[in-house]
Amino acid sequence: MGMGADRDDFVQDAGPFLTEALTSYGDEVLNHAEVATKGTAANIGLRLLQTTAARGGERVRNRLRDAVEDAVAAPGNTDAAGAVRQAIRAAASKDPELEKELKALLPAYAGNRVTVIASGERSVAAGRDIGIAITGDGHLRKP
């Protein structure tokens, strides 16, 4: 797998973290101070966005800011979310050190350890195959 394919994988893997950050912090995500729980999905996304903005030049910051504003204005729009990922991908392609730094923020790339994040009411987090996980009310288990 070439470097470009690896970059695409890591930016794609960053997607859920970026979405959490945009949902939690809105268009202030690039200016927001990190909150106490550093490992949360929203804060990982926050750090990805802020690191990209801080390390990039004015053009990178403007592109990222515009993409963030569009994604916040259209939650659930996959094209808008893709524009945020593409802005990060473009910045990382021009700066290998930035790419390494961003990868280190992602649990899947940080030392091969597994981090499982469950977000939301009745979420299930499992670090391995647990079989069937049922959430909700009114489920009956038959003997």
Query: What DSSP assignment string belongs to 48-85?
Result: HHHHHHHHS-HHHHHHHHHHHHHHHHSTT-HHHHHHHH
pLDDT of residue 127: 62
- Asked whether the predicted pLDDT for residue 2 surpasses 50, the reply is no
- Asked whether the predicted pLDDT for residue 87 surpasses 80, the reply is yes
pLDDT (tens digit per residue) in 63-85: 999 999 999 999 889 999 999 99
Domains in the chain: boundaries: 3-109
